[in-house]
Chain A
Amino acid sequence: DVQLVESGGGLVQPGGSLRLSCVASRFTFSDYGMSWVRQAPGKGLEWVANIKQDGSEKYYVDSVKGRFTISRDNAKNLLYLQMNSLRAEDTAVYYCARLMPEKIDYWGQGTLVTVSS
């Protein structure tokens, strides 16, 4: 079955940076668009960013534009989320997810990012 495993979360101070990684396996990574979705503690789901199969197109929610960058390395089956200028409101579990044209079909287990001094 599809596997997505995130890493890189942790505690960071406001204004700091963090890079999340997601290693994909058991499917042809380069055939799929990928996404990051987050969920603040006790809150609902929020879509963060998408990247196309070849990395040529990227899309972001307004609240992270200019601060977060989604990228991928198809040779290593890796998805990344570079997060800069972090704010308290970025505190959340961040999920890596696989995209189909009409849905997100598989999710990783998530990695917790806590932004606090």
Chain B
Amino acid sequence: DIQMTQSPSSVSASVGDRVTITCRASQGISSWLAWYQQKPGKVPKVLIFSASSLQTGAPPRFSGSGSGTDFTLTISNLQPEDFATYYCLQVKGFPWTFGQGTKVEIK
């Protein structure tokens, strides 16, 4: 199975900050990675797919990079509505696996 190690588990940041979240795969997954945002009590929303493609409707301050085993989600100019939990998901091989999640909190 492909393990996804996501870090940090939580981060405190202020509005306007730049936040970086990483996911590391236990083996190469090419670009088969997506990033999701989940707010409390809400359904996850896809932000990035294929490691770096912005989902239609997602704000351009969200960007993704990486391939192989190391991936990054960057939130530039953090906005109040961005405080949420973020998950990566590898879709290269079964079983699909999510990272453990990163909670972005208000400093």
Q: Are B87 and A62 in contact (CB under 8 A)?
A: no
- Overall SS of chain A's interface: strand
| Contact for B91 among A45, A46, A95, A103, CB less than 8 A | A103
Q: Check A11 for interface membership: any CB of B closer than 8 A.
A: no
Asked if B36 and A45 sit within 8 Å, CB to CB, the answer is yes
| B104 lies within 8 A of chain A by Cβ | no
- Count of chain A to chain B residue pairs whose CB atoms are closer than 8 Å in the complex: 57
CB <8 Å contact, B43 and A107: yes
Question: In the complex, are the beta carbons of B43 and A95 less than 8 A apart?
Answer: yes
Chain A contact residue count (CB 8 A cutoff): 20
- In the complex, per-residue mask of B51-93: 1 if CB is within 8 Å of any chain A CB, else 0: 0010100000000000000000000000000000001010100
Distance between Cα atoms of A60 and B46 in the complex (Å) = 22
Contact of A110 among B43, B50, B55, B100 (CB under 8 A): B43
Which residues of A in the span 3-51 have a Cβ within 8 Å of any Cβ on B? 44-47, 50
Interface bracket on B: 20 to 34
Among the listed A44, A104, A109, which residue makes an inter-chain contact with B100, where contact means beta carbons less than 8 Å apart? A44
Q: Is the CB of B98 within 8 A of A45?
A: yes
Q: B101 touching A59 by the CB < 8 A rule?
A: no
Q: Does B7 contact A (CB under 8 A)?
A: no
Closest to A95 in B: B43
- Contact, CB under 8 Å: B95 / A102: no
Q: Measured between C-beta atoms, what is the minimum distance from B1 to chain A in Å? A: 8
Q: Given contacts A45-B36, A45-B101, are A103 and B49 in contact (CB under 8 A)?
A: yes
Interface centre among A44, A45, A47, A104 (most CB of B within 10 A): A45
> What 1/0 mask marks residues of chain A from 41 to 84 whose CB sits below 8 Å from any chain B CB?
00011110010000000011110000000000000000000000
Q: Which chain A residue lies CB-closest to B100?
A: A44
**Complex interface: chain A residues within 8 A of B44 (CB):** 45, 95, 104, 107
A7 to B50, CA, bound (A): 31
A4 shortest CB reach to chain B, Å: 9
CA A100 to CA B100, docked complex, whole Å: 22
For the complex of A and B, list the 3 residue pairs with the smallest distance between their C-beta atoms, beginning with the closest. A103-B49, A47-B96, A103-B34
